[in-house]
Chains A and B, each alone.
Chain A
Amino acid sequence: MTANPSQNINANVNITKQATGSQALLDGLIHEGVKTIFGYPGGAIMPVYDALYDYGDQLEHILVRHEQGAIHAAQGFARVSGKTGVVFATSGPGATNLVTGLADAMIDSTPVVCITGQVFAHLLGTDAFQETDVINITTPVTKWSYQVTNAEEIPHVLAKAFHIANTGRPGPVVIDITKNAQLQLFDYEGYHKCFHIRSYKPKPDVRTSYIAEAVAIINEAKRPFVIFGQGVILGNAEQEFRAFIEKGNFPAAWTILGMGAIPTDHPLSVGMLGMHGNYGPNLLTNECDVLIAVGMRFDDRVTGRLDKYAKQAKIIHLDIDPAEIDKNVKTTVAVWGDCKETLPLLTQLVQKNENQDWLQKFNECTIKETEKVIFPEQNPDSEILTMAEVLRCINEITQGEAIIVSDVGQHQMVACRYAKLNQTRSNVTSGGLGTMGFALPAAIGAKYGAPDRQVIAIIGDGGFQMTLQELGTIMQANVNVKIIILNNQFLGMVRQWQELFHHNRYSFVNITSPDYVKLASAYRIDAKKVEQRAELKSTLEEILAHDNPFLLEVMVGKENNVFPMVPQGRGVSEIILSKEEL
């Protein structure tokens, strides 16, 4: 038998094959290790969905009920897994529905790649049906965005997008692909991951000079205090961070997004910073002599009034993003770099320390806060249920092993104050943007990102009604998440401000709810409502052991407030434990 000469030629040189832009896109996603896509189809992205039809065995597509749900789900996925979340949406309204999620991912440094369909290239700028200027709408809320009008660009633009989204300080990327490029056949030479972009430096080089300067200051400190943010988690530097604080015996407090980087009950973990954080970390920020900030950005919710913030302290700031250095708080020494690299260098050189008296001060604060706030909130005298006791019960059942996804408002502050977390990447919440409606879709994504873990979404009655249509997604894909609505019949956080700062003038914060149990049952999701303390713990036990998604509505006190609080415009050490101190 004679060999087929043309076959030989193929085997030797021809790895190029014809593919459409859409096929190249999906092939690229597979090469990037993507398994799950959250999306919603439409006219301008139909060729991609058509190609997806043939990739069912390799790519799982979760059909959401609104594109905002898709991107929040992708964020939830990314936050618990560390992988890049992927979103598909159509042009025009599909793309504009992503904007809130992009802004959220941008400010919370979450890696997401959004693929949006766009009208045919020759129609750009003609006000064609469902044409919007997606790149210009999304530019301020993306780490990078790019419009593809020719299929040949797809492989390298996609590779660039994944590299940018999940290196350095992560963030969202939008790739807008015109319909002609999705349809276009071209010679596809295979997918090559991107590892370098000459105009992009994911992390600054570490210089030993500032390590030495920082160590000199830290080793002189009498009252060192470490504050840490999500940078520790994003940098996968949890172990390095722990080694650092353990060697120096430094008390360490978290920002809302740093929560869980070390177990919340770690002996050196002294609680949460910020407006509704713990008493000690806020108060003692203004008593430490050296403040070591790791992977956090001195948000105003953390610092309170800047001119009353840690004025007495020398400040050491470890950050990967040079734009964060000196942005809000002037540093004494800036340790630029990836904290996974810089922390071990510091750990090596810092002295072992006891800091007993100083740690004791945090302890005293905790005792005071427990007595005045934590214990009474978690074990209330009155018959009315509190949010904090729901969290106590959850902790008793999960023992800190669950992922807690929270929405925005009082219940969020309570969840982040009281939840016990043993593992990193267990706290999913909208920190920088404070996006109500985040939790339900984010919980869906979190379940896909960590299928073996219990995912509990804690949501207010207001926020739940912003994205409740995602119950449809949960129903259709049978996503095993536990939804706990803490119903105080108010837009509670706003009501609290109106009570404290606007003379009890309750202006449009009274919100009514549908019958959530009926609503859930309409979506064929099991549900219960709890109003009595006697039923609370047993019902929680029941739903957390349940094999399927479950919705639990808990009626809690209508006009309870979250304390402690650093009132806006005040310094962190002016933190108050009750309304009377205002």
Chain B
Amino acid sequence: MKQEYTITVYTENQIGLINKLAIIFTRRKINIESLNTSPSEVEGIHRFTIVINETEDVVRKLSRQIEKLLDVLKVDYNTDDEIIWQEMALYKVSAEVITEKVKVERLLREQGARAVVIRKDYIIFECTGQREEINNLIKILEPYGLLEFVRSARIAIIKKSDGFHNKVKEFEYKVPSETLVENEFLDQNESVFSM
């Protein structure tokens, strides 16, 4: 049965790794629903959070292929009930409408949204939550003139208590990752003879 799986990948911070990861999915014509990449708590180690809709068999095979990539330290996959996950969204709404209709203000508060920018012409609200909550707010705001909307990728933490922190720390103890050598030539723009 197909369902949503969140794949968590710890990697070295290497240029090109995102492509190496992405082609594992594209080669098999699998759509990535959401992809987040950011530095982990340990220097030099990155964490990818990838959401796809697939059967467990496919997800297991994909995870093994990912783990096979050089520069990938660890891969895990989970169903939605094994994780706590959140997305963040920003909503830009015309200020006029909002100030006129106090009701909207209350609705937003009920949804846990907060204003992050208030200007004469528009207000930007932020909401953090799960897919449905964020979608819900779109529905609420649409009649009042939603000007722009953007949603972040999913980030997720695995429920089981041991977590990843110690595991990732362990990697730090095993030979530190080779930091990329700074390269002055990349920024150098003078002409060099080349054949």
Could you tell me the distance in whole angstroms from the C-beta of B184 to the nearest C-beta in chain A? Answer: 8
* Contact of A199 with B20 at beta-carbon distance under 8 Å, contacts A46-B195, A120-B192, A323-B64 already known: no
| Interchain nearest-CB distance for A154 vs B (Å) | 10
Segment with Cβ contacts to B, from A128-136, A448-456, A525-533, A564-572: A128-136
Given A136-B19, A323-B61, A198-B183 contact (CB < 8 Å): no
**B185 and A120 within 8 A (CB):** yes
Q: For chains A and B in complex, what number of residue pairs have CB atoms within 8 angstroms?
A: 85
Q: Is B70 located at the chain interface by the 8 A CB criterion?
A: yes
Q: Is A140 an interface residue (CB 8 A)?
A: yes
Taking a contact as CB atoms closer than 8 A, the residue among B175, B187, B188, B190 that contacts A196 in the complex is: B175
Which residues A309-368 have CB closer than 8 A to chain B? 321-323, 325-327
Chain A's nearest CB lies how many Å from the CB of B163?
A: 20
Instruction: Name the interface residues of A111-140: CB closer than 8 Å to any CB of B.
Output: 119-124, 128-129, 135-136, 139-140
Q: State in angstroms the CA–CA spacing of A200 and B188 once bound together.
A: 34
Shortest B83–chain A CB gap in Å is 23
B165 within 8 A of A: no
- Quick one: which of A120, A180, A198 has the most chain B CB within 10 A? A198
Contact B181 A153 (CB under 8 A): yes
Alpha-carbon gap, A433 to B180, bound state (A): 35
Q: Note all chain B residues with C-beta closer than 8 A to A200.
A: 70
Contacts of B65 in A (CB 8 A): 323
CB nearest to A139 among chain B residues: B20
Query: Which residues of chain B come closer than 8 Å to A136, judged between CB atoms?
Result: 16, 19
A476 to chain B, nearest CB (A): 24
Q: A298: shortest Cβ distance to chain B, in Å?
A: 13
Q: Does A150 contact B (CB under 8 A)?
A: yes
A46 proximity list for chain B (CB < 8 A): 195
Q: How far is the CA of A128 from the CA of B192 in the complex (A)?
A: 12
A149 at the interface (CB under 8 A from B): yes
A372 within 8 Å of B (CB atoms): no
Q: For the complex, what is the distance from the CA of A119 to the CA of B186, rounded to whole Å?
A: 11
Q: Does B178 contact A (CB under 8 A)?
A: yes
- Given A164-B70, A179-B194, do A124 and B186 touch, yes or no (CB 8 Å)? yes
Is A143 on the interface with B (CB-CB < 8 A)? yes
Also in contact, A199 and B71, with CB within 8 A (given A128-B194, A139-B19): yes
A67 within 8 A of B: no
Q: Which residues of A contact B194 (CB under 8 A)?
A: 43-44, 119-120, 123, 128-129, 179
With contacts A136-B16, A199-B70, A323-B64 taken as known, whether A122 is within 8 angstroms of B186 at the C-beta atoms is: yes
Q: Within the complex, what minimum Cβ distance (angstroms) separates A133 from chain B?
A: 10
Which residue of B23, B174, B181 is within 8 Å of A198 (Cβ)?
Answer: B174
Within 8 A of A (CB), among B149-195: 171, 174-175, 177-178, 181-183, 185-190, 192, 194-195
Tell me if A389 counts as interface (CB < 8 A to partner B): no
User: Which residues on A sit within 8 Å (CB–CB) of B15?
Assistant: 147
User: Residue A470 at the B interface, CB < 8 A?
Assistant: no
The interface on chain A, measured as residues whose beta carbon lies within 8 A of the other chain's beta carbons, has a size of 41
Option from A135, A150, A196 in Cβ contact (under 8 Å) with B185: A150
* Cβ-defined partner of A121 (8 Å) among B61, B185, B190, B195: B185
- Minimal beta-carbon separation of A231 from chain B (angstroms): 15
- Do A178 and B185 have beta carbons less than 8 Å apart? yes
A129 to B174, CA, bound (A): 42
Q: What is the CB-to-nearest-CB distance from A113 to chain B, in angstroms, rounded to a whole number?
A: 14
Q: Does B50 contact A (CB under 8 A)?
A: no
In the complex, whether A191 has a CB less than 8 A from a CB of chain B is no
Chain B residues positioned under 8 Å from A129 (CB to CB): 194-195
Say yes or no: is A144 at the interface (Cβ < 8 Å to chain B). Answer: yes
Q: Are A198 and B73 in contact (CB under 8 A)?
A: yes
Q: Which residue of B lies closest to A180 (CB)?
A: B185
CA distance A124 to B195 in the complex (A): 15
Is B171 a contact of A122 with CB atoms below 8 Å? no
Closest to A148 in B: B181
Q: Of A119, A135, A156, A321, which is within 8 A of B178 by CB?
A: A156
In the assembled complex, which residues on chain A have CB atoms less than 8 Å from the CB atom of B177?
198
Given A139-B23, A198-B175, A322-B67, A150:B189 Cβ within 8 A: no
14 contacts between A and B (CB under 8 A): A43-B195, A46-B195, A120-B185, A122-B188, A122-B190, A129-B195, A139-B23, A149-B186, A150-B182, A156-B178, A199-B71, A199-B171, A321-B68, A323-B64
Contacts from B to A (Cβ < 8 Å) = 11-12, 15-16, 19-20, 23, 27, 60-61, 64-65, 67-68, 70-73, 171, 174-175, 177-178, 181-183, 185-190, 192, 194-195
Closest 4 CB pairs of A and B: A43-B195, A121-B185, A323-B64, A198-B174
Q: A43-B194, A139-B19, A139-B23 are in contact. List 12 more A-B contacts (CB 8 A).
A: A120-B194, A121-B188, A122-B187, A122-B192, A124-B186, A139-B16, A144-B70, A147-B15, A150-B185, A181-B185, A198-B177, A199-B12
